[in-house]
Structure 1
Amino acid sequence: MMVVTALLSWFLVGLFVRMSRARGWGQRVRQDGPQTHLVKEGTPTAGGVPFVLALSVVFLPLYLTGNAGGPRELVIWLTALAMGVIGGVDDLLKIRSRMTGRGRSELLAREKFPLQFLVGLVFAYFAAPLASHELVPGFGPVGDVILLTLVMVGSVNAFNFTDGLDGLLGGVAIIVLLPLLALSPVSALLVAALLGFLWFNAHPARVFMGDMGSHAIGAVAAGAYVLYADVWLLPIAAIIPVVAVLSVVIQVASFKLRGKRVFKMSPIQHHFEHKDIGWPETHVTMRFWMVSAVATALVWWLLGGRP
């Protein structure tokens, strides 16, 4: 079914690109960002919507017929959908703001984070007893729920901050999920859906992922590693998302406390693109993929080489 999902994603994303261009659903580009990104002004965004739809269209019938795993998979899928909807609201606001020139262009942090924590809490409540291993010895049920909530919210935001370069997040996500392909049908289907998406998102991108896609990816990664592998292996495999979110935290904290920036730009992928560093966008993407591959290979080894 991975082939079916990849082809369906390819078709739906391509259809979405054509519809978006016809209706002018393009994204604004930060004027203070890398100057090489200015040519991307107007590129369709919210490309995560069609690939999440492709994933869901294939997964749900499989699950209902007993061919897509048990309750763990349902929990992962529902969490990905819920987080995706939160990100999708952001995408909708961005598109509407560009189309009309009015209204907000995104959800405020004080609106987004409570919703993410609510979804993370529901995930943690149902996931903690379903995990295939003891999460943290001595933590107890309440401690497990708190930990998993933080892991889920942290993962969603880390993967979200990793977006921003053509093909970067899609490639990183595929690599991070590779050790879980044979364990989690949702992870396998997401990898297939991302392959269809990358056909259009590879440099030069014809569509951007948007927040729905990045939120759903972060949720699937967190859910799959928690339920099938080990919660502590996720930040190793997802080293690039972890560094991306930490670079934002460090940058903001440094500027507020010291009035100085640590990085040329944040998240860190834009630091390397800055004219003073000068890495081409494709070089940043490829090198971040390679780092992810090495880190994920280490995780695979720590898992004992199991599929």
Structure 2
Amino acid sequence: MSVPWTLVTALLSWFLVGLFIRVSKARGWGQPVRKDGPQTHLQKEGTPTAGGVPFVLALALVFFPLYLMGRGGDGRELVIMLAALGMGVIGGIDDFLKVRSRMVGGKKELLAREKFPLQLLVALVFAFLAAPLASHELLPGLGGPLVLGAPLWDALLLTFVMIGSVNAFNFTDGLDGLLAGVGILVLLPLVALSPSAALLVAALLGYLWFNASPARVFMGDMGSHAIGAVAAGAYVLYADVWLLPVAALIPVVAVLSVVIQVAYFKRTGKRFFRMAPIHHHFELLGWPETHVTVRFWVITAVMTALTWWLLGGRP
């Protein structure tokens, strides 16, 4: 991926996100804030949400013309981008419902029992397309019988990885600049290999201009779903699926904190963390929001460096 196209993506994302903020403010597309969360978040009431829509649009507008011209990589890139757009659309429906409910009432969001089957469908399609193309054998000696040309157990593993990645990155969102920074760092080891990863990093840089504290726009589910899908796809098809949770330690911890919180509350009626996902727990302990964000960036940078070393040292 040549530098000018990443620059084009970053500038286009910056322009579209800025335009989206202006339109959102004019139409009142603001996001409500939980009253039981950190009190410092109350001032964010009404901040435009669904900011992932314009940067995902910028990503698509640059990638697909490049791909059609033969400059966007091979079939692996198409698989990654289709997964990103499929998951992004699911998140976009959620964003639309949230904005509409604030404006005119009605359904507030997709319920888990509605969202999960859609995620499962996209993940299954990705898994059966990606398993034969994976950079390394996923489950040595345990791939299982071929189904639709893909080893069954490999396909099931990739289905789990895709759904897990999308939801882990989604739960990481919630603080100004947190997910955008984490997403950029997680994808950095693969920018020289995967055009879609490189373009998404560029798009996130354009978005982060407005999402840095104090955020002028929030990402919403479309953006977080697309980031999780690209991260899963790129690590499966260009690196090693087992390195994804290493680089994405913060998203893994975020989703685990939610699972622990829900399970503990159902068992005891009490909260294990002051609030989940875990970044809000640290806020309620007294950490300033910017400290939580930067420290989580630092942890991700360390884990990404470890991932980079593991990639370089692998035969």
TM class by smaller structure: over 0.9
Q: Secondary structure at the match of 2:295?
A: helix
1:206 aligns with 2:210: no
Paired position in structure 2 for 1:107: 110
- Separation in structure 2 between the aligned mates of residue 139 and residue 84 of structure 1, nearest angstrom: 31
Q: Secondary structure at the match of 1:304?
A: helix
Task: Return the offset for 1:305.
Answer: 6.4
Which residue identity does 1:195 align to in structure 2? L
Paired position in structure 1 for 2:90: 86
Paired position in structure 1 for 2:139: 136
Q: Which runs of 5+ in 1 are unaligned?
A: none
- Separation in structure 1 between the aligned mates of residue 17 and residue 168 of structure 2, nearest angstrom: 24
Paired position in structure 2 for 1:291: 299
Paired position in structure 1 for 2:8: 4
Task: Return the offset for 1:136.
Answer: 1.4
Paired position in structure 1 for 2:40: 36
Q: How does 1:52-91 map to 2 (within 5 A)?
A: 52-91=56-95
Which residue identity does 1:296 align to in structure 2? T
Task: Return the offset for 1:131.
Answer: 1.0
1:282 aligns with 2:290: yes
Task: Return the offset for 1:258.
Answer: 1.6
Which residue identity does 1:174 align to in structure 2? I
- Separation in structure 1 between the aligned mates of residue 136 and residue 212 of structure 2, nearest angstrom: 38
Correspondence for 1:123 among 126, 131, 151: 126
- Separation in structure 1 between the aligned mates of residue 108 and residue 289 of structure 2, nearest angstrom: 25
- Separation in structure 2 between the aligned mates of residue 150 and residue 93 of structure 1, nearest angstrom: 26
1:249 aligns with 2:253: no
- Separation in structure 1 between the aligned mates of residue 66 and residue 239 of structure 2, nearest angstrom: 23
Which residue identity does 1:97 align to in structure 2? S
Which residue identity does 1:198 align to in structure 2? L
Paired position in structure 1 for 2:202: 192
1:258 aligns with 2:268: yes
State TM-score, norm by structure 2: 0.95
After superposition, give the CA deviation of every residue in 1:101-124 in whole Å (9 maximum; x if it has no partner).
x21211000000010011000000
Task: Return the offset for 1:139.
Answer: 2.1
Q: Secondary structure at the match of 1:13?
A: helix
Correspondence for 1:13 among 8, 12, 17: 17
- Separation in structure 1 between the aligned mates of residue 130 and residue 185 of structure 2, nearest angstrom: 24
Moved over 2 A (4+): none
**Number of residue pairs matched?**
303
- Separation in structure 2 between the aligned mates of residue 112 and residue 99 of structure 1, nearest angstrom: 22
- Separation in structure 2 between the aligned mates of residue 299 and residue 157 of structure 1, nearest angstrom: 21
User: 254-263 or 198-207: which moved more?
Assistant: 254-263
Task: Return the offset for 1:260.
Answer: 1.8
Paired position in structure 1 for 2:146: none
Q: Secondary structure at the match of 2:81?
A: helix
- Separation in structure 1 between the aligned mates of residue 42 and residue 271 of structure 2, nearest angstrom: 23
1:301 aligns with 2:301: no
Correspondence for 1:172 among 182, 185, 192: 182
C-alpha distance 305-48 of structure 1, shift in aligned 2 (>3 A): farther
Paired position in structure 1 for 2:238: 228
After superposition, give the CA deviation of every residue in 1:257-285 in whole Å (9 maximum; x if it has no partner).
122211010000000000xx100000000
State TM-score, norm by structure 1: 0.98
Q: Which runs of 5+ in 2 are unaligned?
A: 144-150
- Separation in structure 2 between the aligned mates of residue 226 and residue 13 of structure 1, nearest angstrom: 29
1:26 aligns with 2:34: no
- Separation in structure 1 between the aligned mates of residue 275 and residue 123 of structure 2, nearest angstrom: 29
- Separation in structure 1 between the aligned mates of residue 258 and residue 134 of structure 2, nearest angstrom: 31
